[in-house]
Every structure is written in structure tokens, then in C-alpha cells.
Amino acid sequence: MTDGKPLALGCVADDYTGASDLANTLTKAGLRTVQTIGIPASDLALPETDAVVVALKSRSIPAPEAVARSREAEAWLRQRGAAHVMFKVCSTFDSTDAGNIGPVADALREDAGEAIALVTPAFPETGRSVYQGNLFVGALPLNESPLKDHPLNPMRDANLVRVLERQSRHGVGLIDMATVAKGPEAVAARLEALAAEGKGAAIADAIFDDDLETLGRAIVGRRFSVGASGLGLGLARALAADGRGTRDAAGAAVGEPVGGHAACLAGSCSQATLGQIAAAGAVMPVLRLDAGRIVADRESVVAEALAFARERIAAGPVLIASSADPAAVRALQSQHGSEAAGHAVEAALSAIAEGLVAQGVRRLVIAGGETSGAAVDRLGLRAFLVGPEIAAGVPVLRTAGRAEPMLLALKSGNFGGPDFFARALDMMR
Ligand SMILES: Nc1ncnc2c1ncn2[C@@H]1O[C@H](COP(=O)(O)OP(=O)(O)O)[C@@H](O)[C@H]1O
Ligand SMILES: O=C(O)[C@@H](O)C(=O)COP(=O)(O)O
């Protein structure tokens, strides 16, 4: 695949929705981008592209496994000529003290032969900003935002220097806003100074896209960085300014309508998704799954959900959701443990995704990062071309390498406005 010119940028993403968010940003900034699911097999034919985002499902797996998979992906990207590899993490820095951002960043930085990596999850378009190393979600510090109640990685500390230091083998420094405001040379000098102090990573402040452009220019000549879509924007703009982009990068994924039935699945329990499910009730039939029953008797719940869809899908889209509010999630987790509960629900939703495709669904919207990962794996999808943007961080994806093409939207739990599901389906024909 993509045997043509060397990649302008290679990215390793720690989940599938995050990968499509980044692929969307890179495409909008002028890099033709393909999202692959894991390292692509050699028989997968893909168009020529400026950037590849290798999507892994490595955010919530044991750190040694996350490190091994990420290193393989990075090696593959380097073989395709990527001089710079960015490790895409969540804009809310989703991780636990046991991993995985620190261990993966340490390993990829060492493989790249760099002493220090610039790290920033800032993504101003979705309200994520970093000031004095503290991550804000809109007006709230991370630890006061809805992320404090995430089912898998509750975020209880907004200070990313501290958060990353707890996960890393090396010290973590800060590139503060006063330095960023001075421009790319000042940022590069501060990185070198922190490396000389023995730091392995530096959290960079960024509030506006301009700050990310400064950071992109400062590091585009280095080999490795860690960030969310905002840093992708900075890097892509620096590369495009250097003539490495393509005019009309977004045109690549425009294709014939795929037709077929349409459906939505939600496993995200984020506040944004809960609101979107409530709003979808006005425009499509919604089935709410009982997560307790999923843990006890998954097969029956899956069969009932597919029967619900079978009766309605010819008339229009349906939404099937396991999502619940924080109190209900906590109650289930205290009974079964958070991993077991999460995995049981992911297994049920991915079995439902498979059943829906067997019923003729060719347009599928999925809310939730882990949920999307489980469903895409179960469906055996291998790569996506990036189409138009539905909401900040969420593009329409068109499958590549599948005999009968499908359109998907993989929505990070926190993204999108209240009418997201209807809006997505409107754009997926
Ligand atoms: N009702 C529920 N109770 C407990 N866990 C749930 C429930 N519904 C979904 N989950 C789990 O919560 C997690 C949500 O994570 P994810 O899909 O990544 O969403 P987000 O994008 O909001 O982070 C998944 O592991 C999912 O299986
Ligand atoms: O950077 C982001 O916020 C997203 O791209 C992302 O990774 C969100 O994670 P999920 O909510 O688990 O999809």
C-alpha cells in the first residue's frame, strides 16, 4: 500500500475514535490522510496519501502490550518514510497512573532517538486548553469536568506535569505560555534546556490554534511528539507551509452513495452522549439496554436488540444504547468491577453491530472510543478514507478494502452537539 512518496507525517493513535478525530484534523489542514485499523496487511490497497494514522485499541490495555503494539506501528510508519511520528492521545489525557501515555511515550521517544518529547493535549476547537500545565475542559479544570466520572479512566488531577510524571520513567518539564508566545525558536530552546536537565517530556501550554501552530513549527523537524488533534493541526500546517500537503485533501473520500440501512450504537456514558441519546428519541426509535442484564445474560440482550432493529430498520434508522448516568455506572461497577462491566457491554454492542450489518446496515454511527474499537474489530474493518466533518473531531469515514463499502462515524463520547445522531445520518448517504 501507499508505495509512492514518503509519508509527510505518521501517527499512532491509542483508540479508533481518537484516530478519526486526528485524521479529520489533518485532512482539513491539507494532508490527504488514511486511517488504518492496526498495521495494515500488505494486500490492502490504499490510495496515495500524505499521512497515515494507525489506530490502535491501546488506551485501556496493560502498559507492556500498549508499548509493544505502538512500537510496531511506529516502525511501520518509519518504513513508509515518516520522519515525524506523533503519538495521538486523548484531548482529556485519558489514562490511569498505571499507564499508558507515559510508557508508550517513553518507548517511542527512545526508538526515535530523541532525548525529550513535546506533549500537549490542547484542542481549542473542542474547548481543551492547557495553561501552566493544567488541562481545562471548557471553563473547568480536568478534575472538575465530567471526565472525573469516566467509567474506565476517571481523571482526578488537572496538572499534566504531575499526571505524566506518575506514568513516566523520566522527569517531566513545562513549556509555559510565556515561552510559547515568544515563538518556535523559544519553544525549541526550552525543549533543549529541559532535555539537558534530564527531562524526558515537556507539557506545552496552548490555548489557541496560533499556539499550536507555534508548537508545530518548533517540532516539525524533530522525530517524535505526543498530542491530540490540536498538535496534529500545528504539525499539518507546518508541513503544508513546507509544500508537503495536497490541495483538496478532503476530496479523496468522496464516493458513490453506499445505500443500505442506517443505525446508531452508543456505549459512551459521557454527558454529551447522554444528551444526544435523549435528543435522538424525537427522531428515531431508541432501545436502551440494561447493562446489568448484559453482564448476566448477554446473548438474550443481543438477540432482543437485533429483533428490535429487524422490526424497524427498513422504515428508518434506530439507535441502540447501553449508556447510563454516572450513578448507574458506579452501581454496576461496584458489583462486577469496571473492566468486567466495560468489556461485557463492549462485547454485546459489537455483537449487535455485527448483527445489524447482517440485516443490511451499511451506514453506522457509533458513540464511544472503546465501544467503536470493539465494534470495528468485530466487523473486521481494516482502513478508512476520511470524508466531510460532521462535528468538531468527527468525520464521515468510508471503508477502504471492503468489497461492499460502508460509511461510519466513530464519535468520541464527549464530542458533538445535541443533534449529533440525526446530523451524522443526514451526511451519510
Ligand atoms: N451502562 C453501563 N454501565 C457500565 N459501563 C458501561 C455502560 N455502558 C457502557 N459502558 C462502558 O463504558 C465504557 C465507555 O467508554 P467509551 O466507549 O470509550 O466511551 P467514551 O468515548 O465516552 O470514553 C465502555 O467500556 C463501555 O462498555
Ligand atoms: O482527543 C480526543 O478528545 C478524542 O479524539 C478522543 O481520543 C476521545 O476519546 P473517547 O472519548 O474515548 O473516544
Q: Which ligand is nearest to the CA of 269?
A: 1
Domain check: are 269 and 233 in the same one? no
Domain check: are 57 and 89 in the same one? yes
Listing DSSP states for 48-101 in one string gives: --SEEEEE---SSS-HHHHHHHHHHHHHHHHHTT-S-EEEE--TT---BTTBSH
Q: Has residue 251 got a pLDDT over 70?
A: no
Provide the domain limits for residue 66.
Answer: 9-241
Helix, strand, coil distribution of the chain in percent, nearest 5: 45, 20, 35
pLDDT number for residue 195: 98
> 127-149: per-residue pLDDT in tens?
999 999 999 999 999 999 988 88
- State mean pLDDT over 292-313: 97
Ligand 2: does its nearest atom lie under 6 Å from the Cβ of 205?
A: no
CA distance 409 to 347: 19
Domain check: are 365 and 225 in the same one? no
Domain check: are 291 and 224 in the same one? no
What are the cell numbers at 30?
Answer: 491539507
Q: Has residue 1 got a pLDDT over 60?
A: no
pLDDT number for residue 252: 60
Residue of 58, 90, 268 to test ligand 2 pocket, by largest number of atoms within 8 Å of CB: 90
Domain check: are 182 and 269 in the same one? no
Ligand 2: does its nearest atom lie under 6 Å from the Cβ of 393?
A: yes
Domain check: are 94 and 224 in the same one? yes
Q: Which ligand is nearest to the CA of 271?
A: 1
- State mean pLDDT over 102-130: 98
CA distance 120 to 90: 10
pLDDT number for residue 32: 92
pLDDT number for residue 254: 64
Ligand 2: does its nearest atom lie under 6 Å from the Cβ of 18?
A: yes
User: Is there a contact between 425 and 391 (Cβ–Cβ < 8 Å)?
Assistant: no
Domain check: are 407 and 272 in the same one? yes
Element (H, E) at 55: strand 51-55
* 264 closest CA partner among 383, 426, 22: 426
Domain check: are 180 and 271 in the same one? no
- Read off φ and ψ for residue 44, nearest 5 degrees: -85, 115
Q: Has residue 2 got a pLDDT over 80?
A: no
pLDDT number for residue 71: 98
pLDDT number for residue 253: 61
pLDDT grade for 231, boundaries at 50, 70 and 90: very high
| Residue 320 is assigned to a structural domain of this protein | yes
| Residue 256 is assigned to a structural domain of this protein | no
CA of 90 to the centre of ligand 2 (A): 5
Look at ligand 1, atom 26, and give the residue with the nearest C-alpha.
Answer: 342
Last residue of a domain, one of 210, 241, 272: 241
Kindly list the distances between the CA atom of residue 264 and the CA atoms of 6, 276, 319, 369, in Å, as whole numbers in the listed order.
Answer: 37, 11, 5, 14
Look at ligand 2, atom 12, and give the residue with the nearest C-alpha.
Answer: 369
Q: The CATH number of the domain where 26 resides is what? A: 3.40.50.10840
Q: Has residue 44 got a pLDDT over 90?
A: no
Q: How many domains does the chain have?
A: 2
| Residue 387 is assigned to a structural domain of this protein | no
* 31 closest CA partner among 250, 323, 260: 250
| Residue 250 is assigned to a structural domain of this protein | no
Q: The CATH number of the domain where 289 resides is what? A: 3.40.980.20
CA distance 107 to 65: 12
CB contact set of 327 (below 8 Å; sequence gap of 6+):
none
Q: For a pLDDT cut of 90, what percent of the chain falls above it? A: 88
Burial of 243 (0-12, 13-18, 19+ CB in 10 A): exposed
Domain check: are 215 and 354 in the same one? no
| Residue 246 is assigned to a structural domain of this protein | no
pLDDT number for residue 3: 53
pLDDT number for residue 100: 94
Counting from 1 in the atom list of ligand 1, the atom nearest the Cα of 333 is 4
Element (H, E) at 35: strand 33-37
CA distance 85 to 74: 7
CA of 95 to the centre of ligand 1 (A): 15
Counting from 1 in the atom list of ligand 2, the atom nearest the Cα of 18 is 5
- State mean pLDDT over 41-70: 92
The single-letter code of the amino acid at 273 is T
| Residue 2 is assigned to a structural domain of this protein | no
pLDDT number for residue 304: 98
Count the residues in the chain: 429
Domain check: are 317 and 215 in the same one? no
Q: Has residue 246 got a pLDDT over 80?
A: no
Domain check: are 192 and 71 in the same one? yes
Last residue of a domain, one of 181, 208, 241: 241
CA of 315 to the centre of ligand 2 (A): 32
What pTM did the predictor assign? 0.95
CA distance 14 to 2: 22
User: In the chain, what is the greatest distance between 2 CA atoms, to the nearest angstrom?
Assistant: 65
Ligand 2: does its nearest atom lie under 6 Å from the Cβ of 31?
A: no
> 184-216: per-residue pLDDT in tens?
999 999 999 999 999 999 999 999 999 999 999
CB contact set of 80 (below 8 Å; sequence gap of 6+):
2, 6, 7, 10, 52
Look at ligand 2, atom 5, and give the residue with the nearest C-alpha.
Answer: 18
DSSP 282: T
| Residue 365 is assigned to a structural domain of this protein | yes
Ranges 96-105, 148-157, 318-327, 414-423: which has the least confidence: 148-157
* Ligand 1 proximal residues by C-beta, below 6 Å: 151-152, 267-270, 291, 322-324, 328-329, 332, 341-342, 345-346, 368-371, 412-413
| Residue 4 is assigned to a structural domain of this protein | no
Q: For a pLDDT cut of 70, what percent of the chain falls above it? A: 98
User: Is there a contact between 32 and 49 (Cβ–Cβ < 8 Å)?
Assistant: yes
Ligand 2: does its nearest atom lie under 6 Å from the Cβ of 92?
A: yes
Q: Which ligand is nearest to the CA of 91?
A: 2
- State mean pLDDT over 139-164: 92
pLDDT grade for 48, boundaries at 50, 70 and 90: confident
ipTM: 0.98
Look at ligand 1, atom 3, and give the residue with the nearest C-alpha.
Answer: 329
pLDDT grade for 244, boundaries at 50, 70 and 90: confident
Other CB atoms within 10 Å distance of the CB of residue 328: 14
pLDDT grade for 289, boundaries at 50, 70 and 90: very high
CA of 91 to the centre of ligand 2 (A): 6
Domain check: are 53 and 109 in the same one? yes
Last residue of a domain, one of 175, 209, 241: 241
